[in-house]
Amino acid sequence: MRNALVVGDRVYLRPLETSDAEGLARDFSEEAETFMYRGRIPVSPLAFAHWIEKQHTSHPPAEVNLAVCLRAGDEADRMIGLVNVDHIDWLNRTSETGSILLPARFRGQGYGTEAKHLLLEYAFDRLHLHVLRSHVWEPNGRSAAALVKQGYRPAGRLKWDDVKHGIYRDTLVFDVLREEWLQARAAWKASRF
């Protein structure tokens, strides 16, 4: 494992590196599910490298983006996604989380749930955040269900928050406290064994 921050059974999280830019550009360009994007704007490895470098310019950071990497097998250390805490409010100890697995062949196998639990462990136990939020575009039922598995609870709805193809949709808001996440993580671990 290279530069691991948090380690799970099958995946680990590490800081993004500029060497990840090429793979990110490739994986995002090959993404077939477009419901979460405004459009298919091509992003070059240079843009991703700039984004990764920019993250390390503010202290304390307003966001932390981490690579999700496989631990073992033929593809050990392969980055299969990103997780992040964003819009960090260091005074009130709040933040928003996000995640994506790329390429799509890694979805639906539990990697995303494990990675998100590792992110929450990092956010609550290392960054000492108090509450985490997550926003999900209403048509993205898979992400909403995953958040509930991770201990998040519905916290509200932003009406007509986003438009795509001329149709306005709501954004669903979820939140989780450390105690709620600990219960969800224990249940998740018990269900796996």
In this predicted model, what pLDDT tens digit does every residue of 95-133 receive, in sequence order? Answer: 999 999 888 889 889 899 899 999 999 999 999 999 999
Q: Which domains does the chain have, with CATH numbers?
A: 6-192 (3.40.630.30)
Tens-place pLDDT, residues 22-78: 999 888 887 766 655 555 667 789 999 998 999 888 889 999 999 999 998 888 889
Do strands 94-101 and 131-137 pair parallel, antiparallel, or not at all (unpaired)? parallel
- Give Cβ neighbours of residue 65 (< 8 Å, ≥ 6 apart): 16, 52, 55, 82, 83, 84
Q: Specify the length of the chain in residues.
A: 193
